[in-house]
Amino acid sequence: MRKVLVLEDEANIRSFVVINLQRAGYEAIEAASGEEALEQLRCNPDIQVALLDIMLPDMDGFEVCRRIRASGSKIGIIMLTARTQEMDKVTGLMTGADDYVTKPFSPAELTARIDALCRRTGASIPAEDPAEIRQPPFMLNTRNRTLEKNGVRVKLTQVEYAIIKLFMDNAGKALSREEILDAVWGRDYFGELKIVDVNIRRLRVKIEDDAQNPTYITTVWGYGYKWGF
């Protein structure tokens, strides 16, 4: 499993990042101070990427970055910056870091950056697990179970995500309501077909340009629905 160091002194931000990294299939190593981060890097030479907060109790994140590079380490380094930090100053100080992410960031954005960095630093993502399904204007990230429309995150429930994934895997094909129910809720689900329509209606409000005149999820009268445009 790919290891990522998370250096962040604010416990709630740190656990938010850690939980999302774990969900995305990474092993997260935590540190709350610069010294702790450097110690963890010594103990875990297989860490591939380090996320470094800048404002820390003992030293700033740039100093941690400088010390990591001074040790000859070639791991990927992403700085976690606050919106209030002046970006020209940050980028000026970024010597040695590979990328930066501005807080508040979405889990999808962060894992996309880490994935990109892992690719650049030579670590590969298993080919049999495509993390992204791109059907413009939509992009589904199957690692984080998130959907973006024109680059903007669409908040989905787990059921809505499962429906969208089913549609994208079957683009252009009419799916009966029974098929959707079986695939998303499971064959032994004891509910009514109406639950499919309820969820589709809600999904349309979230993803269609005009939910009254849907163009992405179209109705196949007397049968079900089709994803195709």
What is the contact surface with Ca ion in residues (CB under 5 A)? 9, 53, 55
CB of 53 to Ca ion, least distance (A): 4
Measured from the CB atom, is 56 or 217 closer to Ca ion?
A: 56
144 exposed, middle or buried (CB, 10 Å; 0-12, 13-18, 19+)? buried
Measured from the CB atom, is 60 or 208 closer to Ca ion?
A: 60
CB of 56 to Ca ion, least distance (A): 6
CB of 55 to Ca ion, least distance (A): 4
Q: In the 8-state DSSP scheme, what is residue 129?
A: S
Pairing relationship of beta strands 224-227 and 174-176 according to DSSP bridges:
antiparallel
Measured from the CB atom, is 55 or 171 closer to Ca ion?
A: 55
By the 8 A CB rule, do 101 and 114 touch? no
Q: Give the full edge-to-edge strand order of the sheet including 224-227.
A: 174-176, 224-227, 217-220
CA angle at 177 for the pair 219 and 164, rounded to the nearest 5°: 75
Measured from the CB atom, is 9 or 109 closer to Ca ion?
A: 9
Tokens 């005149």 correspond to what residue?
213
Measured from the CB atom, is 9 or 63 closer to Ca ion?
A: 9
158-169 and 177-185 are packed helices; what angle lies between their axes, rounded to 10 degrees? 120
Measured from the CB atom, is 46 or 58 closer to Ca ion?
A: 58
CB of 87 to Ca ion, least distance (A): 17
Measured from the CB atom, is 53 or 98 closer to Ca ion?
A: 53
Helix ranges (H only) for 51-157 are 61-70, 87-93, 107-120
CB of 61 to Ca ion, least distance (A): 8
Residue nearest to Ca ion as judged by C-beta position: 55
**C-alpha count within 13 angstroms, C-beta hemisphere, residue 75:** 29
CB of 4 to Ca ion, least distance (A): 17
**C-alpha count within 13 angstroms, C-beta hemisphere, residue 64:** 33
CA distance 169 to 176: 15
CB of 10 to Ca ion, least distance (A): 5
